[in-house]
Every structure is written in C-alpha cells, then in structure tokens.
Amino acid sequence: MTGAKFEIEKFDGTGDFGLWRVKMRALLIQHGCEAALEVLPANMDATAKAELNKKAHSAMILCLGNKVLREVTGETTAAGVWTKVETLYMTKSLANKLYLKKKLYTFYMPAGRRHTTQGVIDYVHSDLWGPSQVESLGGKRYFLSIVDDYYRRVWVYILRFKHEAFGKFKEWKQLVENQTGRKSGLPKTFWAEATCTAAYLINRSPSTAIEKKTPMEMWSGHPSDYGMLRIFGCVAYSHVKQGKLEPRAVKCVLLGYPEGVKGYKLYRLDNESPKIVTSRNVVFNESVMYKDTLKDSGADQTHDQEDSDDEDAGDQDHDQTPDLTDYQLVRDREPRTRTKTLRFRDESNMATYAFAAAEEEDTHEPLTYQEAVACEDNPKWKAAMDEEMDSLKKNETYELVDHPAGQKLMSYKWLFKIKEGIEGVHKPRYKARDYELEQLDVKMTFLHGNLEEVIYMRQPPGYEQGNKSPRQWYRRFDEYMLSNGFKRRSYDSCVYYRSYAPGEYIYLLLYVDDMLIACKSKAEIGSTKSLLKKEIDMKELGEAKKILGMEIIRDRSRKILRVSQSGIDNGKSVQMPLGGHFKLSLKDCPVRDCDVERMSKVPYSNAVGSLMYLMVCTRPDIAYAVSVVSRYLANPGKNHWEAVKWILKYLRGTANVGLVFGTNRGNHVDVTGFVDSDYAKDPDKGRSITGYAFLVQGCVVSWKATLQHVVALSTTEAEYMALTEAVKEAIWLRGLLEELGVELNTVAVNCDNQGAIHLSRNHVFHERTKHINVRYHFIRDVLEAKTVEVLNSSRSRFGWLVSQAQPVSSFQPTYRVGVLPPHLYKRRCEQLMSVAKKFFDQQVEEKRKVMRNEANPLGYCDTEVTKTVREWKEVFDFTAGVPMVMPTEGDQTVEYANQWPDHPSELREACEEYAKAVQKLSSKLLKLISMSLNLSPNRLEPFFKDQTAFVRLNHYPTCLAPNLSLGAGRHKDAGALTILAQDDVGGLEVKRKTYGEWIFVKPVRNSFIINLGDVMQVWSNDIYESIEHRVRVNSTRERFSIPFFMNPALYNVVEPLPELISEENPAKYKGYHWGKFLATQKQ
C-alpha cells in the first residue's frame, strides 16, 4: 500500500484529473478493492463489505491533496469520495465530457397543451401558405388548407391574394355547418333567444341600402357600439353575491342582449332559479360553447363543473402562460389545486378592494335612462330625476332654443348614484377643542355658477326639454362668502373662517358640494346655515359622520374624534406593509409583448390609485409601501403586482386602524415634525427616500414618503435634502394655523443627522456641498429667521417609520406593546456600565482569578483573537441562563457555570438584572422579525427554548498606536441576534456592501444597536443579511460596551425556513447543526 501510494502523485485539484482517475482505479484493482466503487452484492457479508470499503477509502484518501481532501471530508465511503471528486473535477477534457454524458440527469419536459376532439369540426387546423414565386395557371400565389381534427378531412382553397383567406374561411365554415348541423350547440328550445339575437345583430350591421350605415345608427342618430358583442351560446360567468365561503360567480350561457338594458341575457347552468337572468357583471370564455359543457359530465352535472375544471387544469402544461381573462371569477376562496391556470383567481380578492375600498353594493345603479325606467326602483329614480329637472328650472339654468346652424351640441348623460350612508365599515377619528362639527350638502352644485358664454346641449332623455360648471360654482360661492364677512385662507383656498367674538372663530371647509362647519357655538352654526340657504339650495345632514369616504366617530366623554377608512372583506392578512423579500426594480418590468399584454389585464393602476387615496387620508403606515409600487405604473410586472396584493393583505389585518385627534393641552399649540431619509434605497438610480411626519399636539396631521429628485453622495446629503422638504411643510403648517388664529408655541423639526443640521445652519461655502441644488439651501434663511427650529434628536421616530416599511404597531409607543419602558433599560444599562468599570479598573492579578480556560469558557479574558489577530481589549463573559450547556466531541454536552469575582460584589446582581431585561427585549424583537417575514409572531420562538445566549462586558483601553490596532477585527456575528449597548465614546464601524467602505456608527444615548447574525440570514434565506463590522480604538478615551448574543438551542439544525422557499426563491443554504458548529468554533 505504502509503495503504491508514491507511484501516484496526490491530486490537488489542478492537474489532469482524467489521468489521475485512470491511475487511481488501477491502484484499487491492484489491491483488490475496486468493487467498493460500485454497488456491492446483497448477499455479501457485512463485515467483508465494511473491510473492503475501508481499504478502498483509505487508499483514495492517501492519494488526495489537502485542498481536495477538505472538500470530501464528509464522505465516509469510497463510492462517496469517488463520486464527489468526479462531480467537482470531471469537467475539462473532451474525454471527461464524454464520460460524464452517461451521468447527465434526465429532466422532466412537460407535455404541451392537450385536447381531445369529441366530434366533427369541433377542432380544425388551418394554414395559409404563400406567396409562391411562380403563379399558378389561374394566376394565384396562395393556398389555404383546413383539416378537421376529428375525421382528418382536408379542404384546400387556392387564393390570388392573402387577404382573401378570412373570407374563404367564413365560406368554408358556413358550408360545413350546413352539412353537419354543428353550430352553437344550443338546444332547439332556445330558438326564440336566437331569433332576438339575430335581430339585434342585423340592426347593428351595415347595409348598402343606407350607405353602409347600420339601422340603429339611422334610427337613433348614434353610432353602434360593438364593445359588448360576444359569441352567441358561449360560456359566461355572472357575478353573484353569496356567503363569504361561497363562489362569487355562477356558470351561464349567453342567450343575447335585453332591449333597453346595458347587460347580457344569460341562462344559468346551476340548479337555482330563475334560470334566465340579466347581468352586466359578466366574464366570458368565448373559446368554450354550451355543447362543450355537456360532453364529459352531461347536462345534469353542470353545477359541479368547476371541480372538474380544476382537475383538468392539473394535467396541462406546467410552463404555459396563464390566462388572465377570468381573474374576476372567484373571490375569497383558494383554488383546490395549485395550478397555473388558476393562479389569478384569488387576485380578484384584492382588486375588489383596490377599485373602491369596498365591494359594490347589492343596490343596483342603472347606467342608462332606459335601464332606470325599466327597473323595479323606477318610482324612486323618476322622483330623483324630477327633482333634478325642477332644480334646473328653479335656477334658470337653461333656455329652450332651436339648434343654431353651425353650433356643436354638447353630449349628455344621466348619472345614477345611490349616495352612501354611514352604515359602512369606515371608522374615522377627528377632534378640535370642543368644536361642534356639522355637515352640509349642496344640491345641484354646478348650477350655482354663472357661465361666461353660451353652451348648447342636447336635451336629456325623458325630459326632452348644462358643463364648465365647477369653476363657476366655486367663483360664485367664493364671492358670496367673502361678501358676508368670511375670509378665505391664503394657505388653503377651500377653507373659510370668520371671527364672531374675540378669539372665537367659525370655520367652513368646502370640497365641491360637501361642506364641514366647525364652531364652538351651535347658534353661530345655525346662523351660518341660514346665510347659506339664502343663496344656495342646501341639504342639512346634521352632525358630521362621513366625508369623502372617511367616517367620523366622536367620543365626547374622552374628547376625541376618530377618523379611518375600511371596507375590505375578511381573508388572509400580513403584518408588514411591504414584505422584506420584495426587492422591486425596473428589472421586474415585462419586456416581451406577450408579458406586457398579460399584465395589462391586471388592475394595477386602479389598485395603486386607491391605495394612494387611502394613504393620503388616514394611513401614514403605508406611505413608504405605496411610494414604492407607484414607481412602476407605466409598465408593472408580476412582482410589482404581488407587492400591491401584499399591501392589500396588510390592510385586511389592520382595517380598524385610523387617526386619533384629541384636545389641546393648554392655550398654545405645538407643531412637531420628524424627518429621516433612507440612503440610496432606489435600486434603479440610487436615489434616497425622504420621509417626514408632523404632529399637532401629538396628533399626526401630515406625512410623506417619496424619492428624492437627485442622487445624494452621502447620508448627510440625503438627510439634508429630506430636512429641506420637511421645513417647507413646516412653513405651510405654521402659516395655516396662524391664519386660523391658533397661538403656536414652537414649530420644530427633529433630525437625527448632525452633519445635515450643521449644513443647514452654516452659510460658509463647502467644497463637498457645491453640487447640491441651490434651492435646498433656502432652509438656512428660514432657520436664521427662526420661523422653524431644527432639533438634533435621536427620537426622529415618525420620519423613520414613514421612510421605511414598518408594521402599524411601530407607530405606537414602545411600552404599549409589551417591552420594558425606556427609562428601565437606561437605569440597568448605566448601572452595569458603572460596575463593569470598577471590575476592569482592578489589578490584572485580581481579574485573572476568574480567568476563562479550557475547563470553562466563561469569565475574564485579555487575549481575545479574531482571524489570528489579537484584539486590543479585555472581556468578561457570563451566561444569561444558568448553567450554560455547550457541546463537546460527538453528541456529548457539558455544563458551564458563571465565574463571579469577589470584587466588586455588586457585579453579579447587576449582570443578572441586565440579562433578564435584555432577554425580554430580544423575545419581542424576534416576534417583530417574524412578522416582518410574514410569519406568525411566535414562529422563531421554538428555536430558543434551550437557548445558548450569553452577555459580554467589553473594555477597550486607550491605545498609543490606534492606527496599528483594532479593538475587534472584522467579523460577522455567527448567532441569530446581537443587542449592543455602548457608551458615548464610539468605535464601531460597519462595512457597506455596495462600496466596501467602513462607516462609523455614531453612539446614540439610551439606545441599542441591533445586529442580525448569520443564523438569521440563513433562516430568512437572504431576506435579512448579516453585516461585517469591526471596532476601532483611540488614544484618548477608553470605551465600554455590552453585547448580548442571542443564539438558538444546541439541537437545532439551521436552514432556510420552509415558508420562505419557493420555486422562484429556492433555498440558498444547506442546513447545519448549531451544536456541532459551536463545538468546532470552541476547538
């Protein structure tokens, strides 16, 4: 064996593997153990098998270099080593490639779309050939071939021109239908519906007798609308409103078009009555006819057709492009099988909310005059139309004249709308220092304006007896209010106010035809209403309860108003406005025409528009998420649409969230702003995000999250531009409140970036800021005039929340969600820092009495090493739980107890109290991380049942040569979570992945630094990332810090969580045993 080994040079991964492989096999043959590379006979003795494998395995190991040996360390059999090495190195020579051909996998190739033809001309194949370079004897260059799939009969038509193909196909279709009787497949009992439909189509078909116009156009004067036409006898799905768990569509067959109603006449295929219905909420599948529904299951089984459709879908091509034409058919229900043909059924759940924040009511709103007079609510609609016409006459809006020659008539249209009451699900919140809040509605709003020119309009149907009105209505209202002592706000032209007593005001807010009046005096509100009624026909709605889709609920006992919006049905929900796994960019936009066409059928812009309105009114928590998805309105992709659906799911789970406005706490009002930026967050252009929020007396009144217009070159620049935008908003709010007579204490903007604040206050020219647009520097004049105050505060919390995707719970004070109040953390942290300083100030001999060693890794150490580099620090480690269990060789474990010094005596108590407090915080952080990954809050909790967490006290002494030493070398934390407390000296640096530069982390008083480690990166499958960091030392001040390392239990296998793995996002890491990993690290 030994002699043979030296005849073969060790393979180190760089030589000719093919040659080494031949020699290695020869060596194994020489020693009689080549059979170990193959499957050994089943009847072979187990001892002989083990001996043979051991002999071959050792021979191969001795012939491998160190590099290759490390790669096959985990293989315990000769066959495993052989296969592993072949997989890694059998790639270069042609011989190797030929050898590997037999090892190639056979990949599954899905079959194409299958169909089964059930009868003659059910399915035909057609092909148009040409042009031929040589004309036929008849002077023709094309031919059209048609093949019947059932009988395989072939028809061929010779054509002169290409455009003749469609006409010839129609001629063929008529011929074979007459011969076979195979048409729509409808029973003969539907002959009356077929006759009516034929008449309907004839009336809308051009005729040469009337100059190629249609009979309907000649009769009514309007061109025909062909947008509603569908294939007679095709399958349709009509929307029905049933229980939450019931289907939202019923299968039907198209029978025609009812006269006078914009809808379809349908025959229901279920067992419900009536069988023939009229509906306009219909989705058609024109590729399937009524006869097709009878082939497999019979006419009496159509009610269960949906189930069989699902089963058929499972047999189809796995890679086919899904059809989006039926995405509205099913709501509130998951498909039975996950097939791509059903992928978009659930999307209608989201779309129904996105279109109007609430599903359409059962109450039917007619679309035309004919539909209104034909429906069962005809008397009510007639009364409403009479009232409308009476108002027109009362306001002398029109004069009946003959049509002047050459004048174009404006079109008309009746709009029928059932005005929504307050019985919805919107729950608003609002208040203003004991003001009464009442609502008015202006009748015939636009009739109160005076047009400046003559407009000619057609007479409305039913009242054969006009629409520049909005501007004119506002002008008339404005003149009337100003003439009666009201003033219009220059900061908001739709707000009017008047002082009726010293320091007392009445406010009137106008939005088109909706008004709100706020005043402390009921009598003053009454006189204002009377004043308005003298000039305008008004309707009193009493105390304000709903305005612009927002419901207002007043709690007088608590002196608050609540304002919110809702209206989405129940279903799945998520905890974050935007999941951390969404990395949206222009790369997700479709490029191929087929993909663009597919996404055009998705209601993306409608949904985003509705989300924007919701965000602007009552939901600052979705500001960032809406800002992201609104960037791709021009060309949204599938991933963008998934993000929109995610936001809607988040709204489902937070439907009861709104704004709360309370009373003043004194005679003066404070306006407080918070601003932050998210540096280089835009993946496409590298722009940063500006986020700010303003509170009046602690109530949120204004917020924004938007991309900055230019690229910032540093975090300071990004914060500076964000601060400028926030100051502009602060100026507007100050002007608004002062104009309304509100006495202000301060208008302050909180920013947590010291560099940005220095830039805003310093007029001196800086080389590094000369590229910043001059308009951002106006903030310096504002601060100099003391119009707005800028504060340096680490509590710029709302700005951070708005500039990033955070759960709604983040908008509440920390102590309300189960975490210790901040002052308790501050006290315990300061206490432990003080005691730690006493410990490290002792003589080295005293500290080394609790020196950690091979027998116990807990205690004092002054020889810490990272990547073979000794660190400039001393540490004291103690476990958060007693005793600490650590792995040893094999599956054995050993328990370690904390070593406590005699001096200072209070060290133990301070350490244990701090450990308990931080453990509570770490548990809450784990729940928040779980929710951010769209997992249940307790999803990560089982991993920490027997955790291996510990705490470290770090002391970084002053260093005479700080440029030559590091307090901690560059590294990543191996565990799940690190919670770091530090003093105000600073030294921590993190490495920016994009540019590779080290960023100094400025200490913030009474705050923690949270670092996610390698375990969290693996669990999240790269949604979260472990960050490389290091610690610098200095020559002037010593530094103290206290990291808490949260690690899982020893028996856990660390691998990507199954919920975060999919076909599009496969697992990026193999699992590893945490206990064995710790044992390796310890060694």
pLDDT in tens, 402-428: 667 766 666 666 777 765 544 433 333
Q: How confident is the model at residue 957 (pLDDT cuts 50, 70, 90)?
A: very high
* 761: three-class secondary structure by DSSP: helix
Strand partners, 763: none
H-type helices in 181-270, by residue range?
191-202, 215-220
Residues with Cβ < 8 Å from 591, sequence gap 6 or more?
Answer: none
Q: How far is CA 710 from the centre of its chain?
A: 25
In the 8-state DSSP scheme, what is residue 63? T
Classify domain 436-451+466-549 by CATH number.
Answer: 3.30.70
* Domain layout of the chain by residue ranges: 2-103, 124-180, 188-313+328-345, 436-451+466-549, 664-812, 822-1082
Instruction: Compute how many other C-beta atoms are within 10 angstroms of the C-beta atom of residue 245.
Output: 7
What are the tens digits of pLDDT across the range 771-822? 666 666 677 778 777 778 887 765 444 454 555 555 444 444 322 223 344 5
Percent of the chain with pLDDT over 90: 11
Which has the minimum average pLDDT: 452-461, 562-571, 672-681? 562-571
Determine contact, residues 1049/1009, Cβ cutoff 8 Å: no
Contact call for residues 1067 and 1056 (beta carbons, < 8 A) = yes
> Residue 921, by phi and psi: left (phi above 0), alpha (psi -120 to 50) or beta?
alpha
- Tens of pLDDT, residues 721-774: 888 889 889 888 888 888 777 777 778 888 888 888 888 877 655 665 666 666
In this prediction, residues 61-79 reach a mean pLDDT of 85
Q: What is the residue whose two structure tokens read 């026909």?
A: 537
Which own/partner contact pairs does 19-24 have at CB distance under 8 Å and 24+ positions apart?
A: 20/63, 21/86, 21/90, 24/60, 24/63
Tell me which of 439 and 539 has the higher pLDDT. 539
Q: What is the pLDDT of residue 720?
A: 86
Architecture of domain 664-812: 2-Layer Sandwich (3.30)
| pLDDT average, residue stretch 703-714 | 87
Q: Once rounded to an integer, what is the mean pLDDT over residues 907-924?
A: 88
pLDDT at 214: 84
* Most confident region among 83-92, 362-371, 491-500, 906-915 by mean pLDDT: 906-915
Instruction: Please give the average per-residue pLDDT across 986-997, as a whole number.
Output: 82
Confidence of residue 198 (pLDDT cuts 50, 70, 90): confident
Segment 541-553 mean pLDDT: 74
Average pLDDT, the chain: 75
508-511 contacts at long range (C-beta below 8 A, 24 or more positions apart):
508/481, 510/474, 510/477, 511/547, 511/548
CA atoms within 13 A on the CB side of 487: 12
- Pick the range with the lowest mean pLDDT from 23-27, 421-425, 594-598, 907-911: 421-425
Around Cβ 146, how many Cβ atoms within 10 Å?
Answer: 19
Q: At 899, list the tokens.
A: 């070593």
pLDDT of residue 188: 67
pLDDT score at 867: 60
Token reading at 56: 């071959």
Mean pLDDT of 152-169: 82
What does the pLDDT read at residue 619? 85
pLDDT of 452? 58
419's tokens: 């005005």
Give 27-56 pLDDT, tens digit per residue: 888 888 888 887 777 778 888 888 888 888
What confidence score (pLDDT) does residue 181 get? 54
Return the HEC string of 861-881.
Answer: ECCCEECCEECCCEEEEEECC
> Lowest-confidence range among 134-143, 182-191, 748-757?
182-191
Whether the model pTM is above 0.75: no
Contact between residue 1057 and residue 1019 where contact means Cβ atoms under 8 Å apart:
yes
Q: How far apart are CA 776 and CA 779, in angstroms?
A: 7
pLDDT of residue 850: 92
> Whole-angstrom distance between the N-terminal and C-terminal Cα of the chain?
33
Residue 215 above 90 pLDDT? Answer: no
Q: In what order do the strands lie in the sheet with 968-971?
A: 968-971, 1029-1031, 988-991, 998-1000
CA angle 193, 194, 195 (to 5 degrees): 90
Q: Order the strands of the 699-707 sheet from edge to edge.
A: 699-707, 689-696, 669-678, 744-751, 789-792
Q: Check residue 868 and give its pLDDT.
A: 61
At 1018, which amino acid appears? V
* Confidence (pLDDT) at 558: 60
- Written in H, E and C, the secondary structure of 820-872 is CCHHHHHHHHHHHHHHHHHHHCCCHHHHHHHECCCCCCCEEECCCEECCEECC
Give the mean pLDDT of 953-982: 90
- Could you give the C-alpha distances from 751 to 761, 879, 1060, in angstroms and in order? 13, 38, 36
pLDDT tens digit string along 507-539?
A: 888 877 788 888 888 888 888 888 888 887 777
Q: Which option is the CATH number for 822-1082: 3.40.50.920, 3.60.21.10, 2.40.170.20, 2.60.120.330? A: 2.60.120.330
Peptide bond into 904 cis (omega under 30): yes
Residue 326 has pLDDT above 50, yes or no: no
Q: Residue 383 has what pLDDT?
A: 80
More confident: 646 or 563: 646
pLDDT for 79 equals 86
Determine contact, residues 957/965, Cβ cutoff 8 Å.
Answer: no
Which sign does the torsion angle of CA 1009, 1015, 1017, 1020 carry? negative
Using the structure block, give the residue that is written with the tokens 């509205």: 328
pLDDT digits (tens, 9 = 90+) for 247-272: 778 889 998 888 777 789 998 888 77
Whether residue 704 has pLDDT greater than 60: yes
The first and second tokens of residue 643, run together, are 């993000």
**Range from 709-723, 878-892, 1064-1078 carrying the lowest mean pLDDT:** 878-892
Q: Does the pLDDT of residue 1045 top 70, yes or no?
A: yes
**pLDDT of 93 strictly over 50:** no
